[in-house]
Structure formats: C-alpha cells, structure tokens
C-alpha cells in the first residue's frame, strides 16, 4: 500500500499568519516547506481511505467517485473543514468513520449532505473497509479522538494524531503489533512544562521507543518544531523523520 | 471606493462536487467560471473592509497588517470558514463585526485567537469604521443575519446576503437611500414554490425594483442559476448582472 501525507501541519499551519520566524519565512518563500491541515491518503490497487478532511481542495484532489471512505480522527475543525462545501455535492453517500462525538463540528450532523456520519468507531473494536483491517486506538485529546491501526495484507500503519501521550492500553496494544510505519503527532519542540492536547517532540519520541515501529513520521507539526529541528539537526534518531506535505511512502 | 467580489457562489460553490451539469462542467474547464464562497473586499485609499470570510486562502490574499476589519453577515460556515486557521496567527486583534448570534460557528468564540468577535452589530444601529459609515440591515435567513449599507463619502453600497426576501423595514430604509450598487443574494433560478433561506431570481429582481439602485450585482449564485441564465440570456434587466469571482467595481 501507499501512504501520501496530504498535510503535516498543526491547526495554525506553516507559515503561521503574520509570523516571520525562520520556519514561516522559509515556507512563504518555498511552498515545499508549507504545512497544511494534518491529513493523509492511503491507497492500494483496489482500495483507498482518506485520513481526515481538513484540506479546502479535496474536490480537486479527489474527483467524485474516487473516495471509498473517510476516516476521521476527531471533529476539530482542522480535521473536518474540507467537508463543509463538498457535502452539497452530487454523489452517492460516502461513509465517514469517526469517534463517537455527540456534537460533531458545527452543523455537519444536521446537514450531512453526501456524507454518512453514522459509522461510529469504538476504541479496539476492529472494522473492515475493503481490504483494510482497522483497529481504532484510544488517544488523549481535548475531545473524543481516535488513532487508527491499519493493516493491508502483510503491511501495517499506526496513524496517531491528535494526542498528548498515549493511554497505557493503546501502548500495550500497539507494542504487541508489527508496525511498518508510525505516523505520530509531534506538534511542538520539547517543553519544560507538560504539553497539553498534543505531543511535544519528547513525548512523540517516547511513543516511538515504546511501540518500536520500523520507521516513524512526525506530523501535526507547528512552526516552533520546524525551527527547533533546524537548530538541532541531530534531534531525531535514524528511523524517525518529520513528514512533509506530498511525501509518499510505499509499504 | 472599490469593491472586489472575492467569491460569488453559494455554499456548494460552482462547480458542485460530482455535478456534470453545463455550468459545473464549464467551471471545471475554465476557472474564470468558478464561484467560491460568497465574500467581497471593499477598499479606499485609506480604509478597507473584508465582507465575510469563507475563503480558505485569506492569509495569501491579505497578508498580516493589511486587513482593517471584517464584517460578517452571519455565522454559517461558508461565510466564516477562512477564520479557523488564521485565528492562530501572530497579529494584533482584528475587529470582527457580526450579528448577535449566541453560538457563532463551532469553537470560534471559545478560541478567537487574533480575532475580536465582541463587536456586535444591531439592525439599523449605525457604526463607523475608518471613513465607512455602515448601517446594518435586517434580513430573513435561517440564523441571525445582517446585510450592510455602506457609505464612503458620496458613494454607497448595499450588500445583502444571505436572505430570502427582505423585511419591510429594510425595504423602506433602503428605498429612501441613494444606492450606487446593490449586491444581492440570488442563489436559485425562479422557483414555483416559495424559496427558503435564499432568494430565487424573482425575489432578487423584486428587491432590485423596490430599492432602485443604480446597478445591481447578483451573488451567492448556485449552478442552477448559472444554467438558467445560459438558457435565458434576456432574463436580466440592463442594470442587473451576475457577479463573478474577481470582478472589481469602482464607485
Ligand atoms: Mn489538529
Ligand atoms: Mn485536535
Ligand atoms: Mn451562504
Ligand atoms: Mn447562510
Ligand atoms: Zn512562525
Ligand atoms: Zn452543476
């Protein structure tokens, strides 16, 4: 299977509006350094899944008929914003699998349009979409949020954003799996005070060490982590690297 | 003053996701026919106002320091969506003038970031922003919504979206004003049944006739109105025309 990082940024994105720090200045000069709303696309010869839907141009990236299902980690706006215009499309219902969040985002439940939000995922209750075997993973975040452990044939990915740390039950589950690729929230550089709602780099690396995937991508990255990584070029172990928008990984 | 139509589309936009009608096919082929989230930019030599904020790329259109204030007609997502990422910017507070809507949109009030949503407009209570004299206008819509009558020196604009018809008090107020330009919701072609939440073309033209502006632009246009206007090339009087994205009018 092939994973494409569509967006690797936090809710502010990079560049941050009005910010002139080195990371934001670089992203404004060279769009290769931009970080858009955190999301990814997973595809095989026969199946595909969109992981989160915060990008504004999903209609151009995924013309009608090309999206099999959408997996939402949670209903924060940076993860669902792209659905608001698309929902008024002309299309068969597109299944959206999401955590059991009573409110959703704004009026998405009230006016779902072409999206079917009735598929609620529960932590550790496996589900199947085409050839994908998916286990929702419990996370710690400021509203109901799920990570996903996805298997296709022999290959597997753990996609874990947005989270601050990882519940013990999730660590135990994931440590017992073979994981080819971990994609993990690393929103901030190492903090002196405990991070809230999102991993700092230390927490992300601790999860990497606990879970022992073959390789790890950092995502949901904010401008301050970009600056930190510029200043600390040896901060990451060899099997960990920051994601970037458009990065494709074959597994 | 100069008005630029940034977006002239309804909540679905044109092209509609998955739609292959002539209007949508044309817009997919030639981006000049696209209709983005309904919004406009009003500027003079010294002042400016953004009218609604549904576009996803406001940061690129309006770099930090260039926006004086934002006037919101209401808190439907197609009119505010562009604020969610920008709010996490590095910037002095940007005043947002909006109707008195207790809920706002999603978590904008809870996490306003760089935006100041405390400026609540009330129908017919005038306000001043720089050289702009602004009178909020009562509208009929599915949630609290205001139009705006804007004067700058001798020139004036009435910007009225989203609305279905116009309350009598608003008709009377506007009919008594000199109006250089009316920008009016015309979401749909003429309907047999009474339109809900938005003007059809008949209602928009009736308001044009009542208010007697020097010229009128139709906005918040859906693909069906585009098709209707293609099929009925003489449907509009000489002083009424459909807006298009990027249209600039000097007043
Ligand atoms: Mn997020
Ligand atoms: Mn979140
Ligand atoms: Mn609207
Ligand atoms: Mn509306
Ligand atoms: Zn920055
Ligand atoms: Zn169409």
pLDDT, tens digit, for every residue of B181-191? 999 999 999 99
Please name the member of B11, B37, B88 whose beta carbon is closest to the beta carbon of A12: B88
Please name the member of B12, B65, B85 whose beta carbon is closest to the beta carbon of A12: B85
* CATH number for the domain whose boundaries are B2-250: 3.60.15.10
pLDDT digits 0-9 by tens, B69-125: 999 999 999 999 999 999 999 999 999 999 999 999 999 999 999 999 999 999 999
Element (H, E) at A230: helix A223-231
pLDDT reported for residue A8: 99
pLDDT reported for residue A143: 96
pLDDT reported for residue B206: 98
How many CB atoms within 10 Å of residue B200?
24
Strand ranges inside chain B, DSSP E: 2-7, 39-43, 48-51, 70-71, 94-99, 115-121, 127-129, 132-138, 146-152, 155-160, 181-185, 215-219, 240-242, 248-250
Residues 6+ apart with CB under 8 A from A236: A205, A218, A229, A242
Instruction: Give me ligand 3 centre to Cα B12, in Å.
Output: 9
**Which residues on B lie below 8 Å from A31 (Cβ)?**
none
A window 88-147, beta carbon within 8 A of B? 88-91, 105-107, 114
Chains A–B, number of C-beta pairs less than 8 Å apart: 81
Joined together, the tokens standing for residue B210 give: 């009542």
For helices A22-29 and A223-231, angle between their N-to-C axes, nearest 10 degrees? 100
Please name the member of A12, A77, A88 whose beta carbon is closest to the beta carbon of B106: A77
Which of B212, B242, B194 is closest to B35 using CA atoms? B242
Pairing state between β B70-71 and A70-71: unpaired
Q: How far is CA B130 from CA A99, B69, B194, in A?
A: 46, 10, 40
Mutation target to probe the B interface, by most B beta carbons within 10 A, among A24, A57, A85, A227 is A85
pLDDT reported for residue B111: 98
Q: Each residue of B116-137: b (16+ CB within 10 Å) or e?
A: ebeeebebeeeeebeebebbbb
pLDDT reported for residue B1: 96
ipTM for the assembly = 0.96
As a whole number, the mean pLDDT across chain B is 98
Instruction: Give me ligand 3 centre to Cα A85, in Å.
Output: 11
Residue identified by tokens 């259109």 is B61
User: B11 and A85: CB-CB below 8 Å?
Assistant: yes
Instruction: Give me ligand 5 centre to Cα B168, in Å.
Output: 50
Over residues B51-60, mean pLDDT: 98
Instruction: Give me ligand 5 centre to Cα A27, in Å.
Output: 9
- In three-state secondary structure terms, B90 is coil
pLDDT digits 0-9 by tens, B9-36: 999 999 999 999 999 999 999 999 999 9
Asked whether the CA dihedral A85, A88, A90, A93 is positive or negative, the reply is positive
Whether residue A18 lies within 8 A of chain B, CB to CB, comes out as yes
Whether residue B64 lies within 8 A of chain A, CB to CB, comes out as yes
- Judge whether B36 and B7 are in contact, CB under 8 Å: yes
Neighbours of ion ligand 2 (CB under 5 A): A 76, 162
| Burial group, residue A44, by CB count within 10 angstroms (0-12, 13-18, 19+) | middle
Whether residue B22 lies within 8 A of chain A, CB to CB, comes out as no
- Judge whether B91 and A18 are in contact, CB under 8 Å: yes
d(CA A54, CA A219): 14
pLDDT reported for residue A140: 98
Instruction: Give me ligand 4 centre to Cα B59, in Å.
Output: 23
Query: Looking at the CA of A197, which ligand is closest?
Result: 2
pLDDT along chain A (251 residues), means of 10: 98 98 98 98 97 98 98 98 98 98 97 98 98 98 98 98 98 98 98 95 98 98 98 98 98 96
pLDDT reported for residue A26: 98
∠A152-A154-A157 over CA atoms, to 5°? 55
Cis upstream peptide for B149 (omega within 30°): no
- Judge whether A157 and A149 are in contact, CB under 8 Å: yes
Please name the member of B56, B89, B114 whose beta carbon is closest to the beta carbon of A56: B56
Q: How far is CA A236 from CA A162, A222, A233, B65, in A?
A: 20, 16, 8, 36
pLDDT reported for residue B234: 97
């Amino acid at each position: 299977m092939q994973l494409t990082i569509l967006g690797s940024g936090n809710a502010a994105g990079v560049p941050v509006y009005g910010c002139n720090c080195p990371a934001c200045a670089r992203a404004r000069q060279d769009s290769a350094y931009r970080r858009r709303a955190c999301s990814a696309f997973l595809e095989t010869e026969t199946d595909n899944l969109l992981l989160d839907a915060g990008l504004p141009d999903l209609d151009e990236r995924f013309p009608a008929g090309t999206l099999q299902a959408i997996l939402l980690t949670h209903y924060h706006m940076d993860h669902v914003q792209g659905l608001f215009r698309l929902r008024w499309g002309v299309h068969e219902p597109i299944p959206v699998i999401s955590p059991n969040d009573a409110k959703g985002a704004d009026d998405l439940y009230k006016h779902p349009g072409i999206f079917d939000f009735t598929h609620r995922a529960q932590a550790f209750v496996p589900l199947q979409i085409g050839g994908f075997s998916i286990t929702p993973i419990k996370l710690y975040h400021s509203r109901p949020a799920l990570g996903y452990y996805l298997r296709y044939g022999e290959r597997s990915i753990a996609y874990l954003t947005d989270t601050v740390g990882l519940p013990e039950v999730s660590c135990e589950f994931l440590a017992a799996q073979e994981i080819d690729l971990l994609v993990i929230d690393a929103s901030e550089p190492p903090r002196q005070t405990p991070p809230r709602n999102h991993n700092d780099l230390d927490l992300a690396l601790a999860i990497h060490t606990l879970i022992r995937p073959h390789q790890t991508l950092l995502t949901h990255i904010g401008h301050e982590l970009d600056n930190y990584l510029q200043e600390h070029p040896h901060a990451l172990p060899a099997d960990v690297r920051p994601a970037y928008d458009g990065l494709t990984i074959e597994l």
